[in-house]
Amino acid sequence: MQGGSMDPLEEQAQAVVIGSSVAGLLAAAALADRYEQVFVVEPMIAQPLPQAHHVHGLLSSGWEAMQQLLPGLKHRLINERVCWVHYGKEFRWKHFGRDKVGFEDEMVGPFCSRQILQHAIRTEVLSLPNVVVISGRVDALLGSSRKLTGVQLSDGAEITGELVVDASGRQAIGALCLKNQGFADIPETHYPVNLKYSSLRVQAGPQIHHAAWKSLFVIPEAPKTESGAIFPLEDGSFLITLSGRGDDRMPKTVEEWYSFADRVGDAEFSACVAECQPLDEMNHYRFTEALWRQYHKGKVPKNFYAIGDALCSLNPLFGQGMTLCALGALALRDTVQRSGDGASRGYFELVSRAVGQAWNMTKLEDMRYPQWEEQCSPLSKKLQNYTRDVYAVSSQCPRTNFRLYQVIHLQKSVSALFAPWLIRKVLQYRNLPSSTA
Ligand SMILES: Cc1cc2nc3c(=O)[nH]c(=O)nc-3n(C[C@H](O)[C@H](O)[C@H](O)COP(=O)(O)OP(=O)(O)OC[C@H]3O[C@@H](n4cnc5c(N)ncnc54)[C@H](O)[C@@H]3O)c2cc1C
């Protein structure tokens, strides 16, 4: 290149992404427009992760973000025969002991196994000519505390890149290396959740096949802990996930699994589960604590990014994880397009808006459990009471239910729950003689 301004692509030929699960693949899609070559490093190519055996819902903002990054994804999922569920009409959500009222809106999303969703994302991303997945395990970062130059693999091989994205999941090798190599020590915030999952893939009976809904989710009001979800899969079978918390003894045998389903305490759910025949072994998972690495409060090498669980790993009951991967990838795309030099300036602030909303909402729900009683501030208690009443109103008022969905699905900020019309509805509900407010 002679004189004049340089084509940014010439300077920024390669990018490196650590991990090829949802976050890593979407990050690669986000970078593919900007970089000549995107290398994705992964030690366990195409192997299912332990959480993939459990129900994985995708929030509508996550689905929209995935489509922006991968316009062919919808078509691919249609070919995979995933089930499309209209949240307003076909997703039955029994929340705090009440059924929610339906609403008219095209809020629709793919319901399928985590494996098939990830497989479809992977196939789309690998069809991009400049994305390459390399088999290997990153165990060091190259460069300095000011700027990274790439990564080193456990076999000693080096991959250079003008930027490095840590998408290695909750264990976050990027954060570990930053600390061990003396580049940065990022503050973390965490709190115990102690959630337990137990899932079975089943052949459904007539009740599920003839139900007015396509998916059923029963989530209790604290201090009750047991919840359950019935989720359609692409092959016509269903995945049923039961969850408990704290000292709940999770089922060890299929018989115990059926009786745990009764403890969810919903007659329709129990009756549906009772008719199902197991197709696979039971799978279990224990989620101990929520964790948020607060990069927006620290100083990292200027071309380092973290995304997905490597940034924030939340109580999975609220189904936000993959959505945060997708929203993070959009923020990554916007940041590299804006900065032009791979610098992550502004990225962590941008992404922490969505992460912060998801974190605060789930934490408020987790803090309804008695062990939090003393640590819950008066403001948090007020918010819990208000949102509990919004949930109650959402069982009667379609507009309220739709608004609640928009907030939970991270389409609108939490402040949308405090719109004057909604506050009025909550106050009216509180004045009803039968209200528990
Ligand atoms: C039981 C359970 C249920 C869940 N349900 C939902 C749900 O309903 N909806 C939802 O949206 N989310 C759900 N989640 C959360 C969701 O699974 C995660 O948020 C999501 O998998 C995060 O994706 P990720 O790519 O950031 O990390 P991961 O999926 O953990 O992937 C990290 C990848 O990095 C690779 N890697 C690790 N170390 C290295 C290294 N040193 N070098 C290179 N690569 C490395 C790993 O092999 C892996 O492929 C659930 C989670 C659990 C545990």
Taking only the tens place, the pLDDT of each residue in 76-122 is: 999 999 999 999 999 999 999 999 999 998 899 999 999 999 999 99
Does pLDDT of 1 surpass 70? no
Nearest-angstrom CA–CA distance, 58 and 221: 23
The predicted pLDDT at position 434 comes to 65
Pocket lining: 168 vs ligand 1, CB cutoff 6 Å: yes
Nearest-angstrom CA–CA distance, 31 and 340: 12
Q: What is the pLDDT of residues 398-435, one digit of tens each?
A: 999 999 999 999 999 999 999 999 999 999 999 887 66
Pocket lining: 316 vs ligand 1, CB cutoff 6 Å: yes
Pocket lining: 20 vs ligand 1, CB cutoff 6 Å: yes
Q: Which domains does the chain have, with CATH numbers?
A: 2-51+117-187+294-360 (3.50.50.60), 79-112+191-286 (3.30.9.30), 374-436 (no CATH)
Nearest residue to 96 (alpha-carbon basis) of 374, 394, 403, 411: 394
Query: pTM of this prediction?
Result: 0.95
Number of H helices, E strands in the chain: 15, 19
Structure tokens at 202: 């089943």
Pocket lining: 124 vs ligand 1, CB cutoff 6 Å: no
Percent helix / strand / coil, the chain, rounded to 5: 40, 25, 35
The predicted pLDDT at position 7 comes to 44
Cis peptide before 223 (omega within 30 of 0): yes
Report how far ligand 1's centroid is from the alpha carbon of 385 (Å).
33
Spatial CB neighbours of 390, under 8 Å, sequence gap ≥ 6: 400, 404, 417, 422, 426
